[in-house]
Amino acid sequence: MSDIPSELKYSKEHEWVRIDDDGHAIVGITDHAQELLGDMVYVELPEVGTNVAVEDETGVVESVKAASDVYAPVSGEIIEVNEDLVDEPENINSQPYEGGWLYKVELANESDVDELLTADEYADLIADE
């Protein structure tokens, strides 16, 4: 049974979004996704300063089993990436919602967040998989 924190929002591509105190969107991949992929070995992060639209490719997470593209769940400018993952990609497995965060976005449209799935809706999505 994977962990799906109720205060976060989710994309159909298994990314999660948290809004921090500054109103920025923090993005990562879900517990369900990390469990499917297995032990992470490499992470390709997007470049700080890049402007992304919803569903743009924003990096790759690679496990022993497979490489998986990460898609932007919201649009805006990438203002920070999690450099720790370069040396410790396994943080995505051990802390998908905390230390395994991927990047931070300055939102172009706050309404992008409303388009995302709630925790319950995401739970339903993965129950059908």
Partner 1 sequence: MAKQTALYPVHASSGAKIVDFGGWDMPLHYGSQIEEHHKVRQGAGMFDVSHMTTVDVTGNEARKFLRYLLANDVAKLFLEGKALYSGMLNDDGGVVDDLIAYFRGPNNYRLVVNASTFEKDMAWLTDKASDFDVALDHRTGYTTLAVQGPTSREAAIRAMSEDCASAATELTPFSSVSCGDWFIARTGYTGEDGFEITVPDSDAEAFWYALIAEGVAPCGLGCRDTLRLEAGMNLYGSDMDETISPLEANMGWTVDLKDEDRDFIGKAAILAQKAAGVQQKLVGLVLEEKGVLRSHQRVIIPGIGEGVITSGSFSPTLKLGIAMARVPAATTETALVEIRKKEVPVKVIKPSFVRNGKQVF
Cβ-Cβ contacts under 8 Å for 114 (sequence gap 6 or more):
none
Under rule CB under 8 A, residue 3 binds partner 1: no
Specify the residue for token string 């709630």: 118
**Token pair belonging to 102:** 């991927």
- Tally of CB atoms within 10 A around 28: 29
Under rule CB under 8 A, residue 57 binds partner 1: no
Q: Alpha-carbon distance 120 to 125, whole Å? A: 9
Under rule CB under 8 A, residue 88 binds partner 1: no
Under rule CB under 8 A, residue 90 binds partner 1: yes
Under rule CB under 8 A, residue 42 binds partner 1: yes
- How far is C-alpha 34 from the chain's CA centre? 11
Among 7, 64, 127, 129, binds partner 1 (CB under 8 A): 64
Strand segments, DSSP code E, in the chain are 9-10, 15-19, 25-29, 40-44, 51-52, 57-63, 67-71, 76-81, 103-107
- 92-121 positions binding partner 1, by CB under 8 A: 93
- Give me the least distance between CB of 97 and partner 1, in Å please: 18
Under rule CB under 8 A, residue 83 binds partner 1: no
- Give me the least distance between CB of 7 and partner 1, in Å please: 27
Pick 59 or 76: Cβ nearer partner 1: 59
| Residues binding partner 1 (CB under 8 A) | 38-39, 41-42, 44, 62, 64, 67, 90, 93
